[in-house]
């Protein structure tokens, strides 16, 4: 059984979409995979309550308790690795996890560390993506699921969804429309990752095109 560990920092709407899809589509039976744990760097993250209600292991690891970013990442890796097995290392899914990860952490989970970003990468990496798209006069925006690399928001793309930027859009209205698509493509991209990766390999082979 491949365990999936989801990392969050807040409400966890993408996490909830993934959990609901895993339940609806019976990932345990279909792909030999299960959502094993939800971990947050904030004890007040509302997503932890949802995870608990679903019977998942839900845990907070407060990053402010650690003197350095490296120390926090080391402790976080220790929690994640509890869900590894000898044949099936855990898949780590960032779902609104608002921390920049150290190169050592990224290397540790290379090929099995996924993230979703609210823009059509490589456009607008980093923060404030919706306002930046509006300010640039973009006609389209969207969301991207990608493998995490040491360089921020630059890993191989697994899936994208496109939404129009409408006249009169604000960052808030555009974000809401993009989020709807995030909830669709993130579970789909994870499903495709599970299909592509069998028990014999942990490295990912990015799917061609959008999902």
**Would residue 85 count as lying in a domain?**
yes
**Would residue 209 count as lying in a domain?**
no
Angle at 14 between CA 9 and CA 17, to 5 degrees: 140
Is 146 marked active-site?
A: no
Catalytic residue among 63, 117, 130, 183: 117
**Would residue 40 count as lying in a domain?**
yes
Question: d(Cα 129, Cα 31) in Å, to the nearest integer?
Answer: 34
pLDDT of the residue at 42:
98
The count of structural domains within the chain is 1
- Residue 57, strand partner residues: 37
**Would residue 134 count as lying in a domain?**
yes
Alpha helices in 1-138 (DSSP H): 13-24, 27-31, 47-53, 69-81, 103-108, 129-135
Residue 21 tokens, joined: 């899809």
**Would residue 114 count as lying in a domain?**
yes
From first to last of its 211 residues, the chain has per-residue pLDDT tens of 999 999 999 999 999 999 999 999 999 999 999 999 999 999 999 999 999 999 999 999 999 999 999 999 999 999 999 999 878 899 999 999 999 999 999 999 999 999 999 999 999 999 999 999 999 999 999 999 999 999 999 999 999 999 999 999 999 999 999 999 999 999 999 999 999 996 444 443 333 333 2
92 and 2 Cβ atoms separated by less than 8 Å: no
Residue 126 tokens, joined: 């980093």
pLDDT of the residue at 87:
81
- Domain, as residue range, for 19: 2-196
**Would residue 206 count as lying in a domain?**
no
**Would residue 211 count as lying in a domain?**
no
Q: Which residues contact 41 (CB under 8 A, 6 or more apart)?
A: 7, 9, 60, 61, 62, 63, 72, 76, 97, 98, 99
CATH label of the domain that carries residue 95: 3.40.50.170
Helix/strand/coil percentages in the chain, nearest 5: 35, 20, 40
**Would residue 204 count as lying in a domain?**
no
Global confidence as pTM: 0.92
């Amino acid at each position: 059984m491949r365990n999936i560990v989801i990392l969050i920092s807040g409400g966890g709407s993408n996490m909830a979409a993934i959990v609901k899809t895993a339940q609806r589509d019976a990932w345990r039976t279909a792909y030999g995979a299960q959502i094993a744990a939800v971990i947050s760097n904030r004890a007040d993250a509302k997503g932890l309550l949802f995870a608990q209600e679903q019977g998942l292991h839900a845990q907070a690891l407060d990053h402010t308790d650690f003197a350095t970013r490296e120390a926090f990442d080391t402790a976080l890796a220790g929690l994640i690795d509890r869900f590894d097995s000898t044949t099936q290392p855990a898949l780590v899914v960032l779902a609104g996890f608002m921390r920049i990860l150290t190169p050592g952490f990224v290397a540790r989970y290379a090929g099995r560390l996924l993230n979703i970003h609210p823009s059509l990468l490589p456009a607008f990496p980093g923060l404030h993506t919706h306002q930046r798209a509006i300010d640039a006069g973009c006609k389209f925006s969207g969301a991207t699921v990608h493998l995490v690399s040491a360089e921020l928001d630059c890993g191989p793309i697994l899936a994208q969804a496109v939404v129009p930027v409408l006249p009169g859009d604000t960052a808030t209205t555009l974000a809401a429309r993009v989020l709807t698509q995030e909830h669709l493509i993130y579970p789909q991209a994870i499903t495709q990752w599970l299909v592509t990766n069998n028990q014999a390999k942990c490295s990912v082979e990015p799917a061609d095109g959008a999902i």
